[in-house]
Structure 1
């Protein structure tokens, strides 16, 4: 332990030591911490003290306990600006991370009249996608848009490409506005299985509708993101 921290409670000293180990690469993001006995020996503490330190780091989103597997070192939170029109791929590229769009399902002409009306769509199409950060599950997205209006966008999205990039490059359309509604809740059992989160882990539920400069709807997305993976900021 660092002698300068001796006045702190023992569990806090351990917590800080683990954070330092993450920051300097001893415990790599996406890897599991060593077993409890090894950590107890490393820091010279009891199981109770160690578990309190780890519990605090789990609450902070730095670690995640996984039943039967151990304690996972979580990636640093992605910072996203709520007023930004950047798509997922652009956001991740700006952070030096690799975005992925895994297609889970495609439904042509889904029976969702409310969504069809909101998008004023003639041929509604829906994609269920898993957005990945450097290969790790990050967000479940249900994306709707008008395949009649944007036929050239369908196949790039179906192939795992960015909707925003395809919209710009294939259809020559630039998104101008976005409206988001944000709620916080718990994931369903299906969502937990895909996102690898526990029943107690809160998730953001965001509905986003994007429009062009004339106010015409371009797409509607519903997104589910575990709260420990993202920090949202607002610029005014």
Structure 2
């Protein structure tokens, strides 16, 4: 039961109570909120008050309304450094499980722009869904030189980390990267893969990774919902 606090509107008290239960794990990320009638009874408030509180948390990205399903607790944002670290390095370094689900593969891809930037005669293209703790996080299109890194094609095709494979098979380490970052909305096919709506903002990042002597290693295009990550720049 909520108490009447003259300093805070009732909906704000409910918002704070919900937020506290989310932050302490009583309402787990990825789970759905209990039904409205149950929450109204728990907090002793009207549906109008509850909906105002829930609406505020949706606007903050803490909750996500899913049409026809309910309201889900959003995963906590992962701080993703704009550094040379690969996806698996960042995720596993923070105690999470990284996954690479292969959605498509094209050997000898018809991608002249990618081949030119990679200075390659023949490139392979992978479309991968990068997952954190088995939840979709990033949709990635990855290109690399199919002949230069032939021993990486098989492992990447079975879901292994590309950069970990390069280290193990070739002793290759990235030295710097060129990036272009934009914000837009997910297209229908992208939204379906990521499990988001087409009205949700996403980061679009193009990254060219370079190795020793400025030799290109890989080109990627990634799409990540803004609510899932905070981008941090490291010099």
TM over 0.5, shorter chain: yes
Aligned counterparts, 1:40-119, within 5 A: 40-82=40-82, 84-119=83-118
> Structure 2 matches for 1:181-192, cutoff 5 A?
181-192=180-191
Runs of 4+ in 1 over 6 A off after TM superposition: none
| 2:158 is equivalent to residue 159 of structure 1 | yes
Deviation at 1:227, TM superposition (A): 0.5
CA contact (8 A) 1:6 1:13 kept: no
- Aligned 8 A contact 1:106 1:128 in 2: yes
Q: What is the deviation of 1:213?
A: 2.4
Residue 3 of structure 1: how far off its partner (Å): 5.6
CA contact (8 A) 2:137 2:194 kept: yes
Whole-Å Cα distance in 2 between the matches of residues 113 and 203 of structure 1?
26
Check whether the contact 2:109–2:122 (CA below 8 A) recurs between aligned residues: no
Aligned-CA RMSD value? 1.4
CA contact (8 A) 2:2 2:45 kept: no
Query: How far apart in 2 are the matches of 1:216 and 1:5?
Result: 63
Match of 1:171 in 2: 170
- 1:60–1:228 CA contact under 8 A, matched in 2: no
Aligned pairs, number: 235
Distance 2:177 2:47 in 1: 49
Matched-pair contact (CA < 8 Å) for 2:2–2:44? no
Inter-partner Cα distance in structure 2 for 1:51 and 1:4: 18
- Counterpart residue number, 1:221: 220
Distance 1:201 1:5, change over 3 A: farther
> Which structure 2 residues correspond to residues 2-17 of structure 1 after superposition, within 5 A?
6-17=6-17
In 2, distance between residues paired with 1:155 and 1:178?
Answer: 24
1:199 Cα shift? Answer: 2.4
- CA shift, 1:7, in A, is 1.4
Per-residue deviation, 1:46: 1.8
Gaps of 5+ in 1: none
State how far apart, in whole Å, the 1-side matches of 2:4 and 2:87 are: 42
Name 2:202's counterpart in structure 1: 203
Query: Quick one: distance in 2 between partners of 1:133 and 1:158?
Result: 18
Deviation at 1:235, TM superposition (A): 2.5
Query: CA offsets per residue over residues 88-133 of structure 1, 9 Å max, x none?
Result: 1111111100000000000011111111101111220000000001
After superposition, the Cα gap between the structure-2 partners of 1:42 and 1:207, relative to the gap in structure 1 and judged at 3 Å, is same
